[in-house]
Amino acid sequence: MSAPEVVPFADEHLDAAAALLAARHARHRETEPLLPARFEAPAETLEEVTRAWESDGASGAAAFRDGRLAGYLFGAPRDSGMWGENVFVEAPGHAVEVAEDVRDLYGLAAERWVEEGRPRHSVIAPSSDDELLDAWWRSGFGKQQAHGIREVPPDVEVSIPDGFEIRAPREEEIEELIDLDLALPAHQRRSPVFGGIDWTRDESREEWLKTLAEDNEKLLIGARDGRPVACWAVVTAELGSENRGMFRPEHACYLGFAVTLPDARGSGIGVALTEASLSWAHDEGYPTMLTDWRVTNLLASRFWPRRGFRTTFLRLYRSIP
């Protein structure tokens, strides 16, 4: 098949792009039916495509064959303080009929992005589309983040290891809670992740005091001999910054924070906290739970799939020297 005609993406392409995105989502749901069914309708995906396209600084490309839109790709910058000088292609930001065309689309779009001084590129792609992912691999991208989903079972037996308890956090142990809070970014900064953000004790203390006062998430502490050594936090999925639109089934919850101190890893408390989180989610009427993890995090990338989470979307990443 010959290469498509590729031009800059424009408002006039939105309707046809929505139809392509709806078709992509329908194929995605064949492998993961927990994803929201409503985005199989172009009227629904049009809202998603339009929202993403109207982000500040959005730009991209459209591919045509025989005068008909055959694919599109666009992205927009995110906060450079966290992401560096970047362009982020959200889940609604690309869809193609022929996977290979994404390389032509990226070729045009990335030229502008790099000229604008934005060499860090992220793409959210369906994890089940092997041909599409292969096209991204051959465009210089690799896996960075996985987004997972699983059913909330009706009956969960919580097996707490000997010497541990699971309970709510207490304000008087805030220094121990700060230790937990700082343990996760410290782990993420190590090899082979080399990620994470700097987070001071004062910043963590302020966040913990706010969290304990607001009480808008379910916090579960794993304690050994009274000392907090692990923490799991579950919220309604709407509170997760990435859990919107095509990511989020109706009435899902999000396991947004999980950390175990190094001296408690391998004890079974993380498994017990996951079981307790699922039990709470069932009692609250949530049928589905979401979470996410860095694929280079050796612990997380093995732990969460073993807990029944199936990857739905991947965040791909390329940094151009």
* Cα-based distances in Å from 10 to 13, 79, 222: 6, 24, 52
> For tokens 């997380």, what's the residue?
300
Rounded CA-CA distance 316/143 in Å is: 5
pLDDT at 21: 98
134 shares its domain with 164 = no
**Which of the two residues, 127 and 199, has the higher pLDDT score?**
127
Q: What is residue 121's predicted lDDT score, i.e. its pLDDT?
A: 98
Question: Is it the case that residue 301 has pLDDT exceeding 80?
Answer: yes
pLDDT at 257: 95
When divided into structural domains, the chain yields a total of 2
Q: What is the pTM of this model?
A: 0.94
Condensed to tens digits (0 to 9), the pLDDT of residues 110-127 reads 999 999 999 999 999 999
Q: Are residues 174 and 248 in the same domain?
A: yes
Cα–Cα distance, 180 to 220 (Å, whole number) = 12
Which residue range forms the structural domain that includes residue 102?
Answer: 5-140
CATH number at residue 132: 3.40.630.30
What are residue 31's phi and psi, to 5 degrees? -100, -25
What pLDDT shows up at residue 239?
81
Tell me if 188 sits within 8 A of 297, measured CB to CB. yes
pLDDT, one tens digit per residue, over 87-105 is 999 999 999 999 999 999 9
223 belongs to a structural domain: yes
Single out the residue in 140, 175, 209 at which a domain terminates.
140
Contacts of 258 (CB under 8 A, 6+ apart): 230, 231, 232, 233, 270, 273, 274, 291
Identify which of 124, 73, 77, 76 has the alpha carbon closest to the alpha carbon of residue 100.
73
Last residue of a domain, one of 113, 140, 167: 140
> Residue 293 — pLDDT band, cuts 50, 70, 90?
very high
